[in-house]
Structure 1
Amino acid sequence: MVEFKTLKTEEIQFGNNNFIEVARKEAVAEEGSNEFVAISRGYYAPDGSKRFKKSFAVPLAPEVVDFICTKVKEMAGEDLAQAEPVEENS
């Protein structure tokens, strides 16, 4: 059986009630463990709890991480890539 541990999370809210969460996670099994980054999209339920709608895992291979970061910035366009960052709520 695989157990998932969340090591660190960061999130940003957008729209009326939505968020994107980037989390470093670890999958632990009898055969060993594997760390990865999970990018998830979700919303807040009326009771304030998080509800996740979609998620995908990114392996920690440097070439994969670099590829994703580069292509997201390229496809978002220079205007978005150079916009000033939004302050996070603490």
Structure 2
Amino acid sequence: MPINHEHQISILKDILAEHQLDCCGTVSEYEQMERLIKSLLANNHLQPNVKQSLESIYNYSQKGKNSSDQTIHIQNHQEQIGQWISEINSFY
């Protein structure tokens, strides 16, 4: 059974929160975020500002999975991660 968009958003937010808190991530987490975002972007009921945030997170994920140092990548995006989490909270 597929998960609905609210569950997808919740999972995405959880991964981002863990990145922000622990300052570490894995390639599989970045790949999972990419899959979630692709699925969410296919949803025609999302508001345009939600799509912009998701596209930014997708870019973060792509750069993260190809980064040679996950910790530095996440540290460099701490402020953005916080903004994304706040935006997600305001959407849902």
* More helix as a share of residues: 2
* More strand as a share of residues: 1
TM-score by length of 1: 0.25
Task: Flag the structure with larger Rg.
Answer: 1
